[in-house]
């Protein structure tokens, strides 16, 4: 049985390139038997953060926020597709992520990072890794960097170089291990406390 996966992508630029990487991951996850959704801020436009999802009474969240929550809450794992803007995380991605917290807890994440240059967005990925840990969805050890994103994919997400399929397989196998392990752990025991480190500092 597959996992429920949510891909979270974070560019709204007219000429955005990373959407192709997001489609590649989406298609690859689906082919591996997972139920996968793509949270694209153009399709799910959230305002700059006012209230987090948890701050609304049940059923009172704005429709767009509820639609994103309906994908975030049941997910077993998250794949974050992040570009690199000025060596850090694109603002639309941060804004989407910040609308939730407890909804992510005790689930793993994987980072797919990219950039136009040679480094594949790894500087943003290191900052993102710290943020994901704070959000309670610690990232798996491997990351999946994609340098020269503009030359990597066709519009529909098909890779130009088929060797990316093998790299994606290795990356997703690792995420799946954590995804299934934590899913089992969540079903077997509830944590002693709902406190996060955030609540303690």
Q: Which residues bind ligand FMN (CB under 6 A)?
A: 11, 13, 16-18, 83-87, 115-117, 119, 149
Nearest to 50, CA basis, from 67, 66, 65: 65
* Least distance in angstroms from the C-beta of 2 to ligand FMN: 27
**Closer residue to ligand FMN, CB minimum distance, 90 or 110:** 90
Which residue bears the tokens 């209230």? 51
Q: Cβ contacts of residue 168 below 8 Å, gap of 6+?
A: 24, 25, 28, 144
**Closer residue to ligand FMN, CB minimum distance, 13 or 154:** 13
Q: How many CB atoms lie within 10 A of CB 64?
A: 14
Token pair belonging to 39: 């949270």
Q: How many CB atoms lie within 10 A of CB 132?
A: 21
**Closer residue to ligand FMN, CB minimum distance, 21 or 46:** 21
* Least distance in angstroms from the C-beta of 17 to ligand FMN: 4
**Closer residue to ligand FMN, CB minimum distance, 14 or 193:** 14
* Least distance in angstroms from the C-beta of 16 to ligand FMN: 4
């Amino acid at each position: 049985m597959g996992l429920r996966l949510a891909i979270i992508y974070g560019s709204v630029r007219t000429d955005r390139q990373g959407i192709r990487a997001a489609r590649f991951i989406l298609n690859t996850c689906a082919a591996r038997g997972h139920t996968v959704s793509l949270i694209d801020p153009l399709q799910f436009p959230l305002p700059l953060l006012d209230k987090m999802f948890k701050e609304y009474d049940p059923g009172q969240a704005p429709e767009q926020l509820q639609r994103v929550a309906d994908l975030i809450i049941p997910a077993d794992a998250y794949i974050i597709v992040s570009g690199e803007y000025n060596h850090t995380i694109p603002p639309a991605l941060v804004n989407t992520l910040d609308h939730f917290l407890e909804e992510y807890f005790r689930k793993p994440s994987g980072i797919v990072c990219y950039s136009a240059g040679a480094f594949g967005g790894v500087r943003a990925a290191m900052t993102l890794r710290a943020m994901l840990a704070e959000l309670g969805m610690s990232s798996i050890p491997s990351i999946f960097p994609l340098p020269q994103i503009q030359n990597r994919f066709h519009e529909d997400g098909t890779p130009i170089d088929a060797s990316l399929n093998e790299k994606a397989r290795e990356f997703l196998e690792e995420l799946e291990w954590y995804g299934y392990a934590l899913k089992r752990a969540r079903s077997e025991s509830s944590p002693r406390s709902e406190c996060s480190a955030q609540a303690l500092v």
